[in-house]
Amino acid sequence: MNLPLALVLLPAGAALAAFLTRADRPRRVLLVATAATHAALVIAGWARGATGDDAEAWLGLGPAELPFLAATSLLFLAASVYGAGYLAREAAAEHVDHEEGFLFQNTREAAFTGGLLLFLATMSLVAVSRHFGLLWVAVEATTLVSAPLIYFHRHHRSLEATWKYLLVCSVGIAFALLGNFFLAGALPRGASHVPMTQAVLAENAARMNPAWLKAAFVLLLVGYGTKMGLAPMHTWLPDAHSEAPSMVSALLSGALLNGALLAILRAHAVCVAAGLGDFSGGLLVFLGLVSMGVAAAFLIHQTDYKRMLAYSSVEHMGVMALGWGVGGAAAFGAGLHMMGHAFTKGMLFLAAGNLLAIWRSKQTSEVRGALRAAPASGALWLTGFLAISGLPPFGLFLSELRILQGLVAHARWTETALFLAFLAVVFVAMARVFLRMVFGEPSAKGETPLRLREPISAVLPPLALGLGALVLGVWIPSWIHSALQGMGLMLGGGR
Amino acid sequence: METFAEVLIILVVLTNLKLLGSSRATACIRTVAAQGVLLAALPLVTSGDAITLRMIAQALVSGTLKAFVLPFLLLRATRGARAGRELAPFVGYTTSILLGVALMPLALALGRKLGVTGPAGADLLAPAALFTLLVGLLIIVCRKQAVTLVVGYLAMENGIYAMGLAFAQREPLLVEMGILLDVFAAVFVMGLVARHIHREFDTLDTDRLSSLKG
* Count of domains forming chain B: 1
Q: From the CB of residue A147, how many other CB atoms can be counted at a distance below 10 Å?
A: 26
- Mean pLDDT of all residues in chain A? 91
Closest chain B residue to A184, measured at CA: B169
How far apart are the CA of A424 and the nearest CA of chain B, in angstroms? 21
pLDDT tier at A332, thresholds 50, 70, 90: very high
How far apart are the CA of B108 and the nearest CA of chain A, in angstroms? 17
Say whether A133 and B214 touch across the interface (CB within 8 A). no
Eight-class DSSP state of B170: P
Return the minimum-mean-pLDDT range out of A192-201, A279-288, A314-323.
A192-201
pLDDT at B83 over 60: no
- Residue A60 is predicted with a pLDDT of 87
Query: Which residues lie closer than 8 Å to B105 by C-beta, 6 or more apart?
Result: none
Say whether A156 and B211 touch across the interface (CB within 8 A). yes
- Residue A142 is predicted with a pLDDT of 95
Q: Give the residue with greater pLDDT, B209 vs A152.
A: A152
Residue A425 sits at φ, ψ, to 5 deg, of -60, -45
Quick one: average pLDDT of A24-44?
95
First-to-last CA distance in chain B?
Answer: 56
Is B65 inside any structural domain? yes
Residue B193, H or E segment:
helix B173-201
What is residue A363's three-state secondary structure? strand
List, for residues B171-212, the tens digit of each pLDDT value: 677 778 788 888 888 888 888 888 888 888 877 788 778 788
- Residue B80 is predicted with a pLDDT of 66
Say whether B172 and A178 touch across the interface (CB within 8 A). no
List Cα–Cα distances, B79 to A156, A256, A257, B21, B68, in angstroms: 20, 34, 36, 22, 16
Eight-class DSSP state of B207: G
Say whether B179 and A177 touch across the interface (CB within 8 A). yes
CA separation for the pair A226, B191 (Å, rounded):
22
Is B213 inside any structural domain? no
pLDDT tier at A495, thresholds 50, 70, 90: low
- Chain B contact set for A154 (CB, 8 A): 196
What is residue A80's three-state secondary structure? helix
Quick one: average pLDDT of A176-182?
91
Structural contact between residues A19 and A111, judged by C-beta atoms closer than 8 angstroms: yes
Chain A contacts to B (CB-CB under 8 A)? 131, 133-134, 136-137, 140-141, 143-144, 147-148, 151, 154-157, 159-164, 166-167, 170-171, 174, 177-178, 180-181, 184-185, 192, 195-196, 238-239, 242-243, 298, 302-304, 307
Q: Given A155, A163, A178, which is nearest B160 (Cβ)?
A: A178
pLDDT at A191 over 80: no
Give the up-direction half-sphere exposure of residue A54: CA atoms within 13 A in the CB hemisphere: 8
Say whether B169 and A184 touch across the interface (CB within 8 A). yes
CA separation for the pair A92, A99 (Å, rounded):
19
Rg of the Cα trace of chain B? 17
Is B168 inside any structural domain? yes
Quick one: average pLDDT of A351-372?
89
Structural contact between residues B143 and B99, judged by C-beta atoms closer than 8 angstroms: no
Closest chain B residue to A150, measured at CA: B193
pLDDT tier at A16, thresholds 50, 70, 90: very high
CA separation for the pair A162, A305 (Å, rounded):
19
Say whether B169 and A144 touch across the interface (CB within 8 A). no
Return the minimum-mean-pLDDT range out of A19-33, B134-148, B186-200.
B186-200
Looking at chain B, the whole-number percentage of residues with pLDDT higher than 90 is 31
pLDDT tier at A52, thresholds 50, 70, 90: low
What is residue A232's three-state secondary structure? coil
How far apart are the CA of B25 and the nearest CA of chain A, in angstroms? 17
Q: Give the residue with greater pLDDT, B209 vs A429.
A: A429
Is the Cα torsion angle A447, A448, A454, A458 positive or negative in sign? negative
Q: At what angle do helices A156-185 and A236-243 cross, to 10 degrees?
A: 140
Rg of the Cα trace of chain A? 21
Instruction: Look up the domain containing B186 and give its range.
Output: 2-208
pLDDT tier at B125, thresholds 50, 70, 90: confident
Q: Given A133, A171, A302, which is nearest B171 (Cβ)?
A: A133
- Chain A contact set for B189 (CB, 8 A): 144, 147-148, 166
Q: Give the residue with greater pLDDT, A478 vs A296.
A: A296
Closest CA to A484 of A77, A65, A44, A51: A65
Closest CA to B125 of B141, B140, B107, B144: B107
- Residue B16 is predicted with a pLDDT of 94
List, for residues B95-113, the tens digit of each pLDDT value: 888 999 999 999 988 888 7
pLDDT at A448 over 60: no
pLDDT tier at B81, thresholds 50, 70, 90: low
- Chain A contact set for B200 (CB, 8 A): 155-156, 159
- Residue B146 is predicted with a pLDDT of 87
How far apart are the CA of B2 and the nearest CA of chain A, in angstroms? 23
Q: In this structure, are strands A153-154 and A95-96 parallel, antiparallel, or unpaired?
A: unpaired
Say whether A148 and B190 touch across the interface (CB within 8 A). no
How far apart are the CA of B115 and the nearest CA of chain A, in angstroms? 11
pLDDT tier at A125, thresholds 50, 70, 90: very high
How far apart are the CA of B200 and the nearest CA of chain A, in angstroms? 7
Chain B contacts to A (CB-CB under 8 A)? 116, 133, 137, 140, 146, 149, 153, 156-157, 160, 163-164, 167, 169, 171-172, 174-175, 178-179, 181-182, 185-186, 189-190, 193, 196-197, 200-201, 206, 209-212, 214
Query: Which residues lie closer than 8 Å to B118 by C-beta, 6 or more apart?
Result: B46, B125, B126, B165, B166, B167, B168
- Chain A contact set for B178 (CB, 8 A): 133-134, 137
pLDDT at B123 over 80: no
- Residue A284 is predicted with a pLDDT of 97
- Chain A contact set for B125 (CB, 8 A): none
- Residue B29 is predicted with a pLDDT of 92
pLDDT at A363 over 80: yes
pLDDT tier at A361, thresholds 50, 70, 90: confident
pLDDT at A434 over 90: yes
CA separation for the pair B50, B39 (Å, rounded):
18
- Residue B1 is predicted with a pLDDT of 58
DSSP for B123-145, written as a single string: TTHHHHHHHHHHHHHHHHHH--B
Say whether B164 and A181 touch across the interface (CB within 8 A). yes
Is B214 inside any structural domain? no
- Chain B contact set for A167 (CB, 8 A): 140, 149, 153, 190
pLDDT tier at A449, thresholds 50, 70, 90: low
- Residue A258 is predicted with a pLDDT of 96
> Is the N-terminal amide bond of A4 cis, ω within 30° of 0?
no
- Chain B contact set for A137 (CB, 8 A): 175, 178-179, 181-182
DSSP for A187-209, written as a single string: S-GGGTTS--BHHHHHHHGGGS-
Quick one: average pLDDT of B35-57?
83
**Residue A105's beta-bridge partner residues?**
A154
pLDDT tier at A292, thresholds 50, 70, 90: very high
> Which one of B131, B169, B173, B195 makes the best mutation probe of the A interface by having the most chain A beta carbons within 10 Å?
B169
Return the minimum-mean-pLDDT range out of A89-98, A317-326, B54-63, B119-128.
B119-128
CA separation for the pair B174, B184 (Å, rounded):
15
Say whether B209 and A238 touch across the interface (CB within 8 A). no
List, for residues A248-285, the tens digit of each pLDDT value: 999 999 999 999 999 999 999 999 999 999 999 999 99
Maximum average pLDDT range among A137-151, B68-82, B155-169? A137-151
How far apart are the CA of B111 and the nearest CA of chain A, in angstroms? 13
- Residue B118 is predicted with a pLDDT of 59
Structural contact between residues A32 and A80, judged by C-beta atoms closer than 8 angstroms: yes
Closest chain A residue to B193, measured at CA: A163
CA separation for the pair A463, A454 (Å, rounded):
13
Quick one: average pLDDT of A20-37?
94
Q: From the CB of residue A209, how many other CB atoms can be counted at a distance below 10 Å?
A: 16
Closest chain A residue to B192, measured at CA: A148
Q: In this structure, are strands A103-106 and A153-154 parallel, antiparallel, or unpaired?
A: antiparallel
